[in-house]
A and B are shown apart, each in its own frame.
Chain A
Amino acid sequence: EAGVTQFPSHSVIEKGQTVTLRCDPISGHDNLYWYRRVMGKEIKFLLHFVKESKQDESGMPNNRFLAERTGGTYSTLKVQPAELEDSGVYFCASSRSGSTDTQYFGPGTRLTVL
């Protein structure tokens, strides 16, 4: 089966600009997660979708971040306006069921805000 894909692989933008990241989960996986790793630190949870519904968005840093999953398939994560501290690698993961089912990670999008 095809793995989780993310687009773009890299994005370099200036402070104040907008960026939209996309994640395509494994087909049939209802659960989709966004995570972020800031340089040298741990991978941190951002939010969790079950199908098109946000199950938990407790990790979203602030209201400059907006995630959507219309139709319960792919998801987008928009950062508007981007700030320097938003730089990092954004990972998407998906799992067939929630709870303790294995989460499969995408390759990540490296975001650099200048």
Chain B
Amino acid sequence: GENVEQHPSTLSVQEGDSAVIKCTYSDSASNYFPWYKQELGKRPQLIIDIRSNVGEKKDQRIAVTLNKTAKHFSLHITETQPEDSAVYFCAATDYKLSFGAGTTVTVRA
């Protein structure tokens, strides 16, 4: 089955700085890579996703890159704000999601 590894497990950044979270996956059949954000006590919410036919996708301050050859993908958050503080999960799938262990991001004001 698919195995997704996510790093780092915790990340503390100064407001305004960038945050980068990296994930690797094992199954070359995976073709869809969503990122979920979970704020304390709330449900995981999709923030961005990328499909295997695309190398990069951007949505305002959030971008995701995918390297299929190396089987890794990354989330980039620029100009971080306090409301970006949350747990972020990467996932890989060809239909059922396999998640990374999560990254707790803290944005210091």
B88 within 8 A of A: no
| Cβ distance B19 to chain A, nearest Cβ, rounded Å | 20
Contact B99–A48 (Cβ < 8 Å): no
B97 touches A107 (CB 8 A): no
Complex interface: chain B residues within 8 A of A3 (CB) = 43
For B64-104 the 0/1 string (1 means CB < 8 A from A) is: 00000000000000000000000001000111111111100
Residues of A within 8 A of B32 (CB): 99-100
Bound together, the chains give a CA A33 to CA B1 distance in angstroms of 17
Instruction: Give the number of A-B contacts (CB < 8 Å).
Output: 57
Which single member of A42, A45, A104, A105 contacts B96 (CB below 8 Å)?
A: A45
B10 to chain A, nearest CB (A): 11
Closest Cβ–Cβ distance, residue A6 to chain B (whole Å): 9
Partner among A42, A44, A56, A100 whose Cβ is within 8 Å of the Cβ of B102:
A42
Chain B: how many interface residues by the 8 Å CB criterion? 25
Chain A positions within 8 Å of B45 at CB level: 105
Are the C-beta atoms of B100 and A42 separated by less than 8 Å?
yes
Q: Is the CB of B95 within 8 A of A42?
A: no
- A38 smallest CB distance to B (angstroms): 11
> Given contacts A33-B96, A33-B97, A45-B98, is CB(A107)–CB(B42) below 8 Å?
yes
Binding site for B on A (CB under 8 A): 3-4, 33, 35, 40-45, 48, 56, 58-59, 91, 93, 98-100, 102-108
